[in-house]
Each structure stands twice: as structure tokens, then as C-alpha cells.
Amino acid sequence: MAEQYLGLIADVGGTNIRLQLVDLATGTRSELRKYLCANYPTIVDAIQQYLTDAGQPPVTHACIAIACPTNNDWIAMTNHSWAFSVKETQATLGWHALHLINDYTAISMSLPHLTDEQKVQVGGVEAKSGAPIAVFGPGTGLGVAHLVQHDNFWMSLPGEGGHVDFAPIDEVDAHILAFLSKKYEHVSVEQLLSGPGIVQMYQAIADMKGEAAVFTDAAEISQAGIDGSCAVAQLTMEQFCRVMGSFGGNLALNLGAFGGVFIAGGIVPRFIEFLKASEYRQRFEAKGRFREFNAGIPTFVVTEEQPGLVGAAAYLMQTV
């Protein structure tokens, strides 16, 4: 890499911090290195260890994607003990610039740069170049972001879209809402479209069928539903796909996401063929008078293992 154009990118989760160098002239990224957050008292300690292992490269700019709010100088992780000042961290490491972005800002920034090997299309037509993009990702919670282009620059529009009201479409949805309303004052979409949401949907459908809820783990429910070994689990995963379709279709309508609606996160890539065979796309398009509108919007699943790093690199290259 040309040393004078080196940037550092990182993706920080509750367990690991993943780091790479990026050539800011070409976008070429170095070998990925991963470190356990628990092994380092501060994020600076982890970064300094990485820089030592990488041979003390002359980094001048950096972008860190992290799963917590990033709109203030003080960053406090919600799923780990690290807390730090962006300005102080930049000064300590001697960088010209340090950007902290939310994890879904990073994921959204990756989307225009994904190749066909890093995503799978699950319906619709060809994506329109430069058009708005939407992404949501069931995982521990439900991340949501939009992406728009202006003067050849991509701008992420993050928010808290996973906490919008859950709106039932069919009788099964209605039963799930009634079931969860006994537990929560406000039933958001995240209470369904997440790992914990799969468990809650399974419990609600078991209740509807008058059967015992024998599973307590989302991965077990997913597997039993996908392989058909449990009828209630299968109904759960089918309904999970339907609800994703309705929600994704709503995101498509918000900004006219003709650049595509993407599903990210660690859950859905495990059952892409099941998703293709489900009613995901039917529910995505079932928007009454706007059925044809959504029919012209493609849908994808992100299969790239490190979209946060791809997006952090894209974000950093736009700012230098």
C-alpha cells in the first residue's frame, strides 16, 4: 500500500473488534485482524496492539463503526464497558481525523459497493443505479437505515426504524400482536424481527395452536422450522418471512428505494432458499394501489461477512 494514503477502519461489537488498513487512493484493504474486546482495558489499547502487529503503519485517518449512538463526542458502548472521547482518542493516536459511525450507517454505506458475490437477489427487477437504498437487519435487535446519493456522494440516513409500531396484516399477525400486547405496552417490529422476536413469535403461534412451546432458543426454532421437523417452528419461520416482507415493503415506500431493499444481519443469510420459497416477496409487494410501485423495487440479502468494514472504508474514502 502507498504509505501516504493509509487509513484505519474498524468494526466494534460487544465481543470483538475487527480492524483493517485501507489504501485511501485505491480502496484496497489489508488482511483482517480480530481482537477480543475483553482483553483490552480501552479501545486505544486494542488499536495500538493492532498497529504494533501491523508494523506501525503511518495511519492518518480512521473510521470506526460501532453498535451504539455516535452523535456525541463521548461514546459509551451499550454491550461492552468501553467508553471514550472521540477527540481524545484521535489526539492520543496522532491521527488527522477520526470518524465514529453507527454500525448500520456502516452497513448502509457498504451496499452500493457489494458485488454479486456479496449479495443474493430474492426478487424484483434490476436495481436502479444511484437511487435510494434501504436496509434492515434482524439480529440481537432490528437495525434500519436508508441511503441516498447527492453529487456522487452517498449519505446514510440512520434512525430507529426498528421501533416503529408492528402493524398486523393477517390473522396470525393479529394473534401475535394480541399475545405480545399482554407483555409490552408498545409492540414494535423489533419484538418480532430479531433473534428474541423469533422466540416470541414461536410462543405466540404455539399459543394460537394450543400446543406447548418446547423450544426456547431462536437458532433451534429456525433450524426446526427450516428443516420441517416441527410444524409450529415452520409456521413461525414462514410468518417471520411474511413480516419481513411487509416491513421491507414499507421501507421501500418511504423513499422510493429503487436502488434496492437489503436484508443484513446474521440471521437471514442462513436460510436464503427458505426465504425465496416463502411469501416474503408477496408481502413486500402487497401495498394496495402501490403494488406495481413496489414490484419495481428489487430485494437482496447481504452475504458479505464484513459489511461494516466495507462501509467504514467507503465512508472514510468519501471524507478524505
Encoded amino acid at 164, one letter: V
The answer to whether 188 and 163 are in contact (CB under 8 A) is yes
- In angstroms, the first-to-last Cα distance of the chain is 16
Which pairing describes strands 74-76 and 16-23: parallel, antiparallel, or unpaired?
unpaired
Partnered with residue 61 across adjacent β-strands are 7, 97
Record the cell numbers describing residue 66, joined without a space.
460501532
Q: Was 301 annotated as part of a binding site?
A: no
Q: Was 22 annotated as part of a binding site?
A: no
Question: Rounded CA gap, 162 and 10, in Å?
Answer: 24
Partnered with residue 9 across adjacent β-strands are 20, 63
CB atoms within 10 A of CB 149: 15
Strand boundaries in 56-169, DSSP class E: 61-66, 74-76, 83-85, 97-102, 119-121, 133-138, 142-150, 153-158
What are the two backbone dihedrals, phi and then psi, of residue 284, each rounded to the nearest 5 degrees?
Answer: -60, -40
Record the cell numbers describing residue 221, joined without a space.
426454532
Q: Was 14 annotated as part of a binding site?
A: yes
Q: Was 116 annotated as part of a binding site?
A: no
Q: 218-226 vs 231-255: helix axis angle to the nearest 10?
A: 100
Let me know the angle formed at the C-alpha of 189 by 188 and 193, rounded to the nearest 5 degrees.
Answer: 135
The residues near 239 (Cβ < 8 Å, ≥ 6 apart) are 172, 173, 176, 201, 205
Partnered with residue 6 across adjacent β-strands are 23
Question: Rounded CA gap, 307 and 109, in Å?
Answer: 9
Q: Was 11 annotated as part of a binding site?
A: yes
Record the cell numbers describing residue 215, joined without a space.
423450544
Feature table: binding site for ATP: 10-15
Annotated binding site: 10-15
